[in-house]
C-alpha cells in the first residue's frame, strides 16, 4: 500500500487532559518509526470534541514531547505543507467530505433530537434490548433514508439540527490487516452507524476528521493505541467510500499498558495509590488537582523514554539500555507485542539509576550544584566531581544525592548515639587520638597512601582493625555506615580530616578509660 512512499506518521492526541504515559509511548513509537525510515513525524491536535476540551492540555502535550526529545516535523507550532494542524482550525474542510458521502449513498442525514434518541434508548432498555443506530432502524427513524427528499430538504432549510451518519453496510465481512495483530475480520452487522458530522457545532466527529486528515496529510502509517481497534472496520469502510482505499495507510494498534499487578489498564489512580507518576510532567487540573510527573519526580527523560520503549516492544536480545539513536535503529513494529505490557515502577527507578550512573562526574556535579548553592555550600568543581564519582553508584535520583553526600561537605554536628555507644568506648578514643597524630604527619592524602599508613600503624600497635576503623568512621561521618574511609579522607583532605578527629575528641571526650 504505502511501500514506496515517504513514510509519514502522525501523533494525533485530543487535548482532553494531560498526556498519559501510554500516549507518550504511542508518540515515541511513531517517532522511532519515522526516524528509522527517514520519514516525517506530524503532530495533529484532534480537538473537534469541544465538550471534552481542557485548557492547558495542548501546551502540556507539546512540552511533554519536547522534554522527551521527540521532535516534530510538522505540527501546530512548526507549521508545514498541510497546515493548519489543529482540527478546529480546519473546520471548513470537513462538511464537503461528509456531503460527498451522503451523495454517494454511504451516509445519510438523521434528524433525531437527543431527547428522541434517549426515549428510544430507554424504551429498548425497558424491553431488555440495547438500542443501536444501525441498518435495522435507520430506515424507520427520522433519516434521509426514511423521509421523502423534499421533507429532508425542508428540515435542513428550516434550520432543524441534523447529523450525518455513516451507512454501515449490512452483513459484510470487512477484512483488515494490522501490522501487529495480523489479519482481522469483522462482520458489519455488529457495528452501528456512527455520526460523522454535526450541524449543531458545524464540526466533524473524530472518525470523519481523522480519516479526511490522514488522507489529506498523506499519512502512510497509523500507529495508535489498541482502544482504536474497534474503529478500524469503520475506518476501512470510510476509505473505501471515499475511493481512497488504494492509498489508505497501514495500521498498527499498540497493546495497552497494564497495572503493576497485571489486571487492567494502568490508571492515574494506580499511580496515586502506589506512589509513581503516570504522566510525563506534573499536571495541575483546572480544578487544582495535582498529579505527579516523571520530570518533577527526578527522572531523566532518556531513562523515561528507554523504559517506555521497552513497554510493549522488545529488541529480541538481552539489551535493556538504549540511547535514542539505538532505539531508532532497533525498533520494529514486528516486535511489538499483541498482549498488554505490565508497567513495573521498580524497573522505572532502575532505569533512572542506570542513567544516573552513566552520567559523567562533571555532568552530575552540574546537576547537583544548585542543591549546594541552595544550602550555601561552597565547594570546588573538583571536589564536587570527586564526590559524585564516589557516590553516584548509590543513588537513583539527583534529589537523593544531598542525603547521601552531605557528610562530605559538612562535618557531623552530632554522632549517631547507637554507633557512639558501640564504638566510642574502651581504648578507642585514645586510639583515635593516636590516629590523629599519625595523620598529621601524612602529607600525601591519596587513598592508597593513607590506607597504607593507617594499616601499618594499626598492625604495629596490634590494634583491632574493626574497632579502630569504626571509631574513625564515627568521627568523620557521625555514623557507622558509608563508603571507604580512605576515599572519604582523600576528598576531605588532611585539614578537614584532622578537624573532625579533633572535634570528636572534644565533643565526646576521650572516653572512660582514656
- Give whichever of 112 and 226 is closer to ligand GLU, judged by the CB atom: 226
Q: Which of residues 195-224 bind ligand GLU (CB under 6 A)?
A: 206, 210, 222, 224
From the list 7-15, 194-202, 354-362, 370-378, the region that binds ligand GLU by CB under 6 A is 7-15
C-alpha distance from residue 291 to each of 288, 419, 435, 447 (Å): 10, 41, 53, 46
Among 46, 74, 213, 490, binds ligand GLU (CB under 6 A): 46
CA 76 to chain centre: 21
> Smallest distance, Å, CB 400 to ligand GLU?
36
Q: How far apart are CA 228 and CA 253, in angstroms?
A: 7
Give me the torsion for CA of 81, 87, 89, 92, rounded to 10°.
90
Tell me the site size for ligand GLU, rule CB under 6 A.
9
- Give whichever of 226 and 270 is closer to ligand GLU, judged by the CB atom: 226
Q: What are phi and psi of 323, to 5 degrees?
A: -75, 170
Q: Which of residues 122-161 bind ligand GLU (CB under 6 A)?
A: none
Active site residues: 268
Binding of residue 228 to ligand GLU (CB under 6 A): yes
Q: Which of residues 166-195 bind ligand GLU (CB under 6 A)?
A: none
Whether 171 contacts 189, CB under 8 Å: yes
Among 7, 9, 12, 21, binds ligand GLU (CB under 6 A): 12
> Smallest distance, Å, CB 214 to ligand GLU?
8
Q: How far apart are CA 404 and CA 392, in angstroms?
A: 9
Residue 105 buriedness (CB in 10 A; 0-12 / 13-18 / 19+): exposed
From the list 10-18, 55-63, 180-188, 269-277, the region that binds ligand GLU by CB under 6 A is 10-18
Binding of residue 237 to ligand GLU (CB under 6 A): no
> Smallest distance, Å, CB 232 to ligand GLU?
10
> Smallest distance, Å, CB 496 to ligand GLU?
58
Q: How far apart are CA 274 and CA 263, in angstroms?
A: 15
- Give whichever of 54 and 379 is closer to ligand GLU, judged by the CB atom: 54
- Give whichever of 206 and 423 is closer to ligand GLU, judged by the CB atom: 206
Q: How far apart are CA 276 and CA 291, in angstroms?
A: 10
Binding of residue 14 to ligand GLU (CB under 6 A): yes
Residue 33 buriedness (CB in 10 A; 0-12 / 13-18 / 19+): buried
- Give whichever of 205 and 450 is closer to ligand GLU, judged by the CB atom: 205
Q: How far apart are CA 33 and CA 221, in angstroms?
A: 9
Q: What does the binding site for ligand GLU look like in residue numbers (CB under 6 A)?
A: 12-14, 46, 206, 210, 222, 224, 228
Amino acid at each position: 500500500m504505502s511501500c514506496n512512499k515517504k513514510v509519514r506518521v502522525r501523533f494525533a492526541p485530543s487535548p482532553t487532559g494531560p498526556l498519559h504515559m501510554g500516549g507518550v509511548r504511542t508518540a515515541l513509537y511513531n517517532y522511532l518509526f519515522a526516524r528509522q525510515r527517514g520519514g516525517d513525524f506530524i503532530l495533529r491536535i484532534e480537538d473537534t470534541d469541544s465538550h471534552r476540551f481542557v485548557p492547558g492540555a495542548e501546551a502540556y502535550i507539546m512540552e511533554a514531547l519536547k522534554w522527551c526529545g521527540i521532535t516534530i516535523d510538522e505540527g501546530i507550532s512548526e507549521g508545514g505543507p498541510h497546515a493548519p494542524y489543529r482540527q478546529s482550525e480546519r473546520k471548513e474542510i470537513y462538511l464537503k467530505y461528509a456531503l460527498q458521502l451522503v451523495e454517494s449513498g454511504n451516509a445519510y442525514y438523521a434528524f433525531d433530537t437527543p431527547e428522541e434518541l434517549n426515549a428510544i434508548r430507554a424504551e429498548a432498555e425497558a424491553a431488555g434490548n440495547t438500542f443501536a443506530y444501525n441498518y435495522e432502524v435507520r430506515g424507520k427513524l427520522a433519516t434521509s433514508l426514511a423521509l421523502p427528499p423534499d421533507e429532508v430538504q425542508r428540515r435542513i432549510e428550516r434550520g432543524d439540527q441534523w447529523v450525518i451518519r455513516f451507512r454501515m453496510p449490512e452483513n459484510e465481512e470487512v477484512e483488515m490487516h494490522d501490522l501487529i495483530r495480523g489479519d482481522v475480520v469483522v462482520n458489519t452487522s455488529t457495528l452501528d452507524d456512527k455520526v460523522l458530522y454535526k450541524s449543531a457545532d458545524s464540526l466533524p466527529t473524530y472518525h470523519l476528521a481523522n480519516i479526511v486528515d490522514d488522507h489529506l496529510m498523506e499519512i502512510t502509517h497509523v500507529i495508535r493505541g489498541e482502544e482504536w481497534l474497534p474503529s478500524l472496520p469503520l475506518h476501512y469502510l470510510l476509505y473505501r467510500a471515499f475511493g481512497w482505499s488504494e492509498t489508505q495507510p497501514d495500521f498498527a494498534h499498540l497493546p495497552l499498558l497494564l497495572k503493576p499487578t497485571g489486571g487492567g489498564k494502568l490508571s492515574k489512580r494506580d499511580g496515586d495509590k502506589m506512589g509513581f507518576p503516570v504522566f510525563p510532567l506534573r499536571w495541575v487540573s483546572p480544578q487544582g488537582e495535582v498529579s505527579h510527573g516523571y520530570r518533577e519526580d527526578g527522572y531523566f527523560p532518556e531513562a523515561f523514554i528507554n523504559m517506555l520503549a521497552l513497554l510493549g516492544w522488545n529488541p529480541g536480545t538481552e539489551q535493556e539500555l538504549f540511547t535514542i539513536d539505538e532505539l531508532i535503529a532497533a525498533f520494529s513494529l514486528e516486535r511489538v507485542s499483541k498482549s498488554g505490557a505490565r508497567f513495573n515502577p521498580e524497573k522505572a527507578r532502575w532505569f533512572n539509576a542506570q542513567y544516573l550512573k552513566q552520567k559523567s562526574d562533571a555532568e552530575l556535579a552540574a546537576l547537583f550544584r544548585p542543591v549546594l548553592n541552595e544550602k550555601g555550600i561552597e565547594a570546588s568543581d573538583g571536589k564536587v566531581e570527586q564526590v559524585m564519582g564516589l557516590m553516584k553508584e548509590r543513588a537513583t535520583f539527583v534529589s537523593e544525592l544531598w542525603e547521601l553526600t552531605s557528610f562530605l561537605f559538612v562535618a557531623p554536628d552530632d554522632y549517631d548515639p547507637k554507633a557512639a555507644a558501640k564504638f566510642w568506648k574502651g581504648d578507642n578514643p585514645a586510639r583515635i587520638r593516636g590516629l590523629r597524630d599519625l595523620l598529621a604527619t601524612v602529607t600525601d592524602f591519596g587513598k592508597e597512601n593513607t590506607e597504607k599508613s593507617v594499616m601499618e600503624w594499626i598492625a604495629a600497635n596490634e590494634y583491632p582493625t574493626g574497632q579502630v576503623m569504626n571509631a574513625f568512621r564515627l568521627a568523620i561521618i557521625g555514623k557507622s555506615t558509608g563508603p571507604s574511609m580512605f576515599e572519604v579522607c582523600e576528598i576531605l583532605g588532611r585539614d578537614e580530616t584532622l578537624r573532625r578527629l579533633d572535634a570528636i575528641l572534644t565533643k565526646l571526650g576521650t572516653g572512660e578509660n582514656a
